[in-house]
Amino acid sequence: MKKLISVILFLCSVSTANGYADELLTQKCTFTLPEFTTFGGKSISDVKVGWESYGTLNKDKSNVILVTHFFSGTSHAAGKYRTTDSSSGYWDSIIGPEKAIDTDKFFVVSVDTLVNLHPYSPNVITTGPATINPKTGKPYGLSFPVVTIRDFVNVQKALLESLGIKKLYAVIGASMGSMQAAEWASVYPDWVPRMISVIGTTQSNAWTTAALESWAIPIRLDPNWHKGNYYGLEKQPVDGLKASLMLISMQARHPKGVIAMGDKLGYQPVEPEPLEHITQSHSIVNEFAEMAAKRATYADANHLLYLVRASQLFITGHGDSLESGLQKIQAKTLFISAQTDLLLYPALAESAHSYLRDKGHNSAYKELTGPLGHLEGVLDIQEQAAAIEAFLAD
């Protein structure tokens, strides 16, 4: 059974590799693990995750770059599924032929995490509380075990091993993806000679954990959440989910970017509608609400809670101290922060970089300069394309 899966996967990756034309095209593949044991010691059967690749795996399988995705992201890191797609994967500006992560040289792999935020997307394959528990025939709901960044990494490793890969060329991830990258470098140092952390952190501190909690709060208040048992019911916890996504959108930005949004909308402190009645809102609030409603389309409320928890539980190496986790890293490292990031603020990455450098590691630190806050690491990553390309060159 396990061997058969590997064969299917290999075919999938070959097919992907052959799909390139002038435009980078990709497809979603599925990886299945019949049994998986979490970091917390719980078992999950029939784990499925989606994955994509860009570029061609070389003969000695030495050109693999793993891209780990952010909280609300998916494995669609670059390219299109069809030439008619309206948009490309989120890091298309740096992944592709002759780009910073050059798919003419590298075989780039990205994997949907467990408990991915968007289980209802046609382009996401994930396992989480919205998944049918094979033992009961019903969705797991909150009986799904708590999963961690380590678990995301372990599923990725099993996938890579199924492709016959035994070592990465590099791992790179933004935000929650940076957590996975750091975990990879610490727990599987033999696999990771190069690690790039973008808008990242090497642990959740007390403040990060509290800030993350604010994303969970609206969902638990929604009367349609029903303590997680809403699957199959007529009313879904959409209001709580939208409110949560609205908080995430707001916290991922910086005043500079939001003020620019407001200027485009014609925002004024004294607008007639919110002055007229308490149930009406300012233009900038309506704009965030509309964005959140769109983002909620394929998202699941319980999955969001599990992503919050995985992020809260993160410390590199999942041990008692950050130092013990960082000390295991052998990789050359590059940390890229965003100056306007108020969520995973620059000092978090800078302190990890300084620690490693002071211990004699080869570590570099760069900053994105734009006004988009945490989103800089996703939307403006091309500003550091040259640094990424140079880092990968040797």
CA distance 98 to 114: 31
CA distance 281 to 197: 38
In the complex, the smallest distance separating the C-beta of residue 371 from its own copies, rounded to whole angstroms, is 11
Instruction: Establish if 146 lies at the interface with its own copies (CB under 8 A).
Output: yes
Instruction: Establish if 217 lies at the interface with its own copies (CB under 8 A).
Output: yes
**Single residue of 183, 222, 376, 383 touching its own copies by CB under 8 A:** 222
CB-CB neighbours of 132 under 10 Å? 13
In the complex, the smallest distance separating the C-beta of residue 61 from its own copies, rounded to whole angstroms, is 33
Residue 160 in tokens = 């890579």
Instruction: Establish if 231 lies at the interface with its own copies (CB under 8 A).
Output: no
Q: What SS3 state is found at 274?
A: helix
Instruction: Establish if 36 lies at the interface with its own copies (CB under 8 A).
Output: no
Measure the CA angle with vertex 79, ends 73 and 85; round to 5°: 90
Instruction: Establish if 221 lies at the interface with its own copies (CB under 8 A).
Output: yes
In the complex, the smallest distance separating the C-beta of residue 97 from its own copies, rounded to whole angstroms, is 39
Q: Of 283-322, which residues contact its own copies (CB under 8 A)?
A: 284-285, 288, 305-306, 309, 312-315, 318-320
**Single residue of 8, 17, 25, 250 touching its own copies by CB under 8 A:** 250
Residue 66 in tokens = 């793993």
- 187 contacts 153 by C-beta, under 8 angstroms: yes
Instruction: Establish if 275 lies at the interface with its own copies (CB under 8 A).
Output: yes
Instruction: Establish if 40 lies at the interface with its own copies (CB under 8 A).
Output: yes
Instruction: Establish if 233 lies at the interface with its own copies (CB under 8 A).
Output: no
* Residues 187-222: b if buried by 16+ CB within 10 A, e if exposed: bbeebbebbbbbbbbbbbeeebbebbeebbebbeeb
Q: What SS3 state is found at 367?
A: strand
In the complex, the smallest distance separating the C-beta of residue 275 from its own copies, rounded to whole angstroms, is 5
Q: Is 380 a catalytic residue?
A: no
Instruction: Establish if 376 lies at the interface with its own copies (CB under 8 A).
Output: no
Q: Can you tell me which residue has the tokens 């610490």?
A: 186
Sign of torsion over alpha carbons 353, 358, 363, 365: positive
Side-chain-facing half-sphere of 42: CA atoms under 13 Å: 10
Classify burial at 17, counting beta carbons within 10 Å of its beta carbon; exposed 0-12, middle 13-18, buried 19 or more. middle
Specify the residue, 309 or 332, whose C-beta has the smaller distance to its own copies. Answer: 309
| Residue type at position 319 | G
Q: Of 41-60, which residues contact its own copies (CB under 8 A)?
A: none
Instruction: Establish if 243 lies at the interface with its own copies (CB under 8 A).
Output: yes
In the complex, the smallest distance separating the C-beta of residue 123 from its own copies, rounded to whole angstroms, is 26
Q: Is 320 a catalytic residue?
A: no
Q: Is 69 a catalytic residue?
A: no
In the complex, the smallest distance separating the C-beta of residue 343 from its own copies, rounded to whole angstroms, is 11
Residue 74 in tokens = 């998916």
- 301 contacts 222 by C-beta, under 8 angstroms: yes
**Single residue of 59, 82, 277, 294 touching its own copies by CB under 8 A:** 277
Side-chain-facing half-sphere of 279: CA atoms under 13 Å: 0
Instruction: Establish if 193 lies at the interface with its own copies (CB under 8 A).
Output: no
List of residues contacting its own copies (CB under 8 A): 39-40, 142, 144, 146, 148, 203-211, 213-214, 217-218, 221-223, 228, 239-240, 243, 246-247, 250, 253-255, 258-259, 261-263, 265, 267-271, 274-279, 281-282, 284-285, 288, 305-306, 309, 312-315, 318-320, 342, 345
Which residues are known to be catalytic?
Answer: 175, 341, 374
